[in-house]
Amino acid sequence: MEEPTRQARIRAAMERALGLAVRGPEADPNPRVGCVLLAPDGRVVGEGWHRGAGTDHAEVMALADAGDLARGATAVVTLEPCNHTGRTGPCAQALLSAGVAEVVFAQADPTAEAAGGALNLREAGVVVTAGLLAERAEQVNQTWTFARCTGRPWVTWKFAATLDGRSAAADGTSQWITGEPMRRAMNARRARCGAVVVGTGTVLADDPRLTVRDEQDRPVAEQPLRVVLGNRPVPVHARVRGDDGGFRQLPGADPLAVLEELASEGIHRVWLEGGPTLAAAWWRAGVIDEVIACLAPALLGAGSPAVAGLGIDTIADIARLQIAHVERHGDDIALIMLAESPRTAAEPVEANHKEK
């Protein structure tokens, strides 16, 4: 195969691998990975993607798909093949055992326990190329990469408010400020997170389920953890408790300690839906990365604000956010904003290597 044609086919294979990667569950403890195997003549002989913790990694799935045709092939992978044994063996070794001649990957693995696959492959004589469509691959696993690099999950704070910034009326009622289309859209976003966090005040006031629901209002199979922060007892019959073992109550005084606990369970994205006091505490702790403000074209004039005091006394200290994009759902508007401009919003691409 001529070199320009070969490079074009490898690039096309990486595009395909990225499309396969996003089939995996975003909230899974492991990264989403896609793999395509190309024969020496450029034919696709195997494909795979990671379907979730405990299942075959993308490379192993592609090797099984290719069978004997994997020998001498080029493996095109969205993430550096792992060098780690968890529930499954290291993908770098699987590629070597299958006789793959070349590996092209997009994103380098940022985790200490899984990195090193590229080096092992090179030392065994495999031709390895890194960085093809790396930015695209990093976007596929944006919050997973963030958590591995910072040691804590990415935090998205979502709230609903009127135009005058009220999240509850003067009598304490708060359901529903926004309409059904906005609630469906936010339900879909919640499904992309590993944990939903609220305070005991929200549980006692609203008795929320904090679950992800389908169009018929039925709970979906894979649910985020439902985490309640605070020392006040959660009623035995509170809906948040559920019956699936996905409920946690944590003291919650220190946001960093809470995030460390959630990270230990493989959570890399947290959906914060707490009331104004909890939101203010997490903002002041500097752990909110993304803000989604769901604004209804309505006024209350009095009632609870969306957030409590932030320690800002002068306009010179105003906390400004960067708008990543704006969505309209029904009559309501969602502003998706970043707390710090260098970061990129965690949006899906179209088209913990540590096993849990």
Kindly state the helix (H) or strand (E) to which residue 130 belongs, with its residue range.
strand 127-130
Distance linking the first and last C-alpha atoms of the chain: 42
Q: For 129, phi and psi rounded to 5 degrees? A: -125, 130
Query: Which are the catalytic amino acids?
Result: 59
CB-count burial class (<10 Å; 0-12, 13-18, 19+) for 34: buried
Q: Which residues contact 236 (CB under 8 A, 6 or more apart)?
A: none
Kindly state the helix (H) or strand (E) to which residue 66 belongs, with its residue range.
helix 58-66
Which has the closest alpha carbon to 323: 296, 343, 298?
A: 343
The structure tokens 């369970």 sit at 265
Q: Check: CB of residue 34 under 8 Å from CB of residue 19.
A: yes
CA–CA separation, 337 and 324 (whole Å)? 5
The type of residue at 22 is V
Strand ranges (E), 62-201: 74-79, 102-107, 127-130, 154-161, 166-168, 195-199
DSSP 8-state symbol, 82? P
